[in-house]
């Protein structure tokens, strides 16, 4: 992709994602005001389990679709790649659905320890096949750098989710379990998004070659190493989210679920909101770096990597400064919650290593280092669990914030060291 085209694609995707994220952020504020910090905490626990199931459903297929499609010499062969990826996505998505649907009662009663979580989990299970298929199609679109298709699909899914939630809240209110209503909105919007992506795929794939240019084995060779690490990391992240309220309770905090909801459901979304500007860069950076790497254009890869990391450092510094200075005001303005503002200010400096690490991971994946990235992430997640279990009962929420800083800095150091080594070869 030419420089002007790449910049234009990044700008288009960033603008659309900014609209989506801004709307999502505003909606998150609205929902938190309706269900409170305890409700946000419960919903985040349910979503932690759902995210693990979604990781199983997706199983690295989108990255395989992106890398294989972007490396094709003849883009007319992309339809063959898409067909294989959609078939595998359907298999993994269906398996994840069965797993979550059947295990929902045990998870709700024994792990989350909230019996009313059964229905939301089973509703979310219905979204897993469509989530997997949509992810595969988005990977295909990314590989072909069809930015407009990705934009339309994401916007349609996000806005339909908000619209459905508003209708359900208006009709049923929050008297019953609000997590059920939010789960219904996610499941229905994922179905609509999948249908729309399917229509766009149908229109974009002009033909599927008679002779397959890619085998299922080739797709799985890319996706399974990623999936294996992603399974483990997602399982560890889910375990982390589930033990945080318990560890906080051991510290003597009586409203542990509320504190958890304030941190995870209010403060951290503010920290990650500016990431929308980098998400577009990373999405397009992977196929761009992959294509240059396949052509053995080492100088071009090095130049793109340096430019991306420098821009990210400057961007992260600006974000961190704004959040540090205005964090308390933001917390009160958005949530009418002084505690949320305190957490935002405390987490502000984390933006710099967090954003740089995300871009570094994107570059490494473009250089076929996705397995190493997942190894780092798995080791990181494994080290966090014992720290959370032993540190939080002593220092509470502030102990968790300290763990986040240490973890992110170690992760970034390992990623940068690997990138330097790969580029030096």
Q: What pLDDT sits at residue 5?
A: 61
Q: Which spans in 108-146 are helix H?
A: 118-125, 128-143
Residues 85, 119: Cα–Cα separation, whole Å? 30
Do 248 and 260 form a contact (C-beta atoms < 8 A)?
A: yes
Do 64 and 192 form a contact (C-beta atoms < 8 A)?
A: no
Do 58 and 131 form a contact (C-beta atoms < 8 A)?
A: yes
Residues 155-200 pLDDT 10s: 888 888 888 988 888 888 766 678 888 999 999 999 999 999 888 8
CA R_g for the chain: 21
Residues 192-239 pLDDT 10s: 999 998 888 887 776 555 556 677 888 888 888 778 878 888 888 889
Q: Is a pLDDT exceeding 90 seen at residue 320? A: yes
pTM above 0.85, yes or no: no
CB within 8 Å of 210: residues ≥ 6 apart? none
Do 150 and 131 form a contact (C-beta atoms < 8 A)?
A: no
- Select from 146, 116, 135 the least CA-distant residue to 198: 135
Do 99 and 55 form a contact (C-beta atoms < 8 A)?
A: no
Report the largest interatomic distance among the alpha carbons of the chain, rounded to a whole angstrom. Answer: 66
Three-class secondary structure of residue 176 per DSSP: coil
Q: How would you class 308 by CB atoms within 10 Å of its CB: exposed for 0-12, middle for 13-18, buried for 19 or more?
A: buried
Q: Is a pLDDT exceeding 70 seen at residue 294? A: no
Q: Is a pLDDT exceeding 70 seen at residue 10? A: no
For residues 369-398, one letter each, b for 16 or more C-beta atoms within 10 angstroms of the residue's C-beta and e for the rest, the string is bbebbbbbbbbbbebbeebbeebbbeebbe
Percent of the chain with pLDDT over 90: 32
């Amino acid at each position: 992709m030419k420089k002007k085209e790449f910049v234009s694609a990044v700008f288009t995707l960033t603008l659309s994602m900014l609209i989506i994220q801004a709307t999502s952020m505003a909606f998150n504020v609205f929902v938190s005001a309706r269900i409170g910090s305890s409700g946000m905490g419960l919903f985040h626990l349910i979503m932690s389990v759902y995210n693990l199931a979604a990781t199983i459903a997706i199983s690295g297929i989108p990255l395989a679709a992106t890398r294989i499609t972007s490396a094709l010499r003849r883009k007319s062969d992309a339809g063959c790649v898409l067909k294989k990826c959609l078939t595998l996505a359907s298999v993994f998505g269906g398996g994840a659905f069965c797993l979550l649907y059947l295990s929902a009662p045990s998870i709700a009663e024994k792990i989350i320890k909230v019996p009313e979580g059964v229905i939301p989990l089973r509703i979310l299970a219905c979204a897993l096949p469509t989530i997997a298929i949509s992810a595969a199609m988005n990977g295909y679109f990314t590989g072909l750098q069809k930015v407009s298709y990705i934009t339309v699909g994401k916007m349609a899914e996000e806005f339909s989710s908000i619209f459905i939630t508003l209708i359900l809240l208006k009709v049923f209110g929050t008297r019953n379990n609000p997590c059920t209503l939010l789960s219904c909105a996610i499941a229905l919007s994922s179905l609509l998004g999948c249908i729309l992506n399917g229509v766009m795929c149908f229109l974009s794939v002009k033909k599927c070659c008679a002779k397959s240019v890619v085998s299922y084995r080739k797709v799985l060779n890319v996706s399974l190493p990623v999936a294996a690490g992603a399974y483990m990391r997602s399982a560890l992240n889910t375990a982390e989210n589930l033990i945080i309220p318990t560890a906080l309770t051991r510290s003597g905090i009586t409203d542990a679920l509320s504190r958890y909801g304030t941190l995870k459901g209010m403060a951290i979304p503010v920290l990650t909101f500016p990431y929308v500007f980098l998400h577009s860069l990373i999405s397009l950076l992977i196929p761009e770096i992959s294509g240059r790497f396949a052509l053995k254009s080492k100088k071009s890869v090095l130049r793109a990597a340096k430019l991306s990391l420098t821009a990210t450092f400057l961007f992260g510094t600006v974000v961190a400064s704004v959040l540090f200075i205005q964090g308390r005001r933001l917390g009160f303005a958005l949530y009418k919650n002084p505690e949320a503002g305190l957490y935002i200010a405390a987490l502000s400096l984390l933006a710099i290593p967090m954003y740089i690490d995300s871009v570094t991971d994107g570059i490494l994946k473009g250089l076929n280092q996705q397995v190493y990235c997942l190894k780092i992430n798995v080791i990181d997640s494994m080290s966090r669990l014992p720290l959370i279990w032993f540190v939080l009962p002593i220092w509470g929420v502030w102990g968790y914030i300290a763990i986040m800083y240490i973890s992110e800095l170690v992760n970034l150091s390992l990623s940068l060291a690997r990138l330097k080594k790969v580029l030096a070869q």
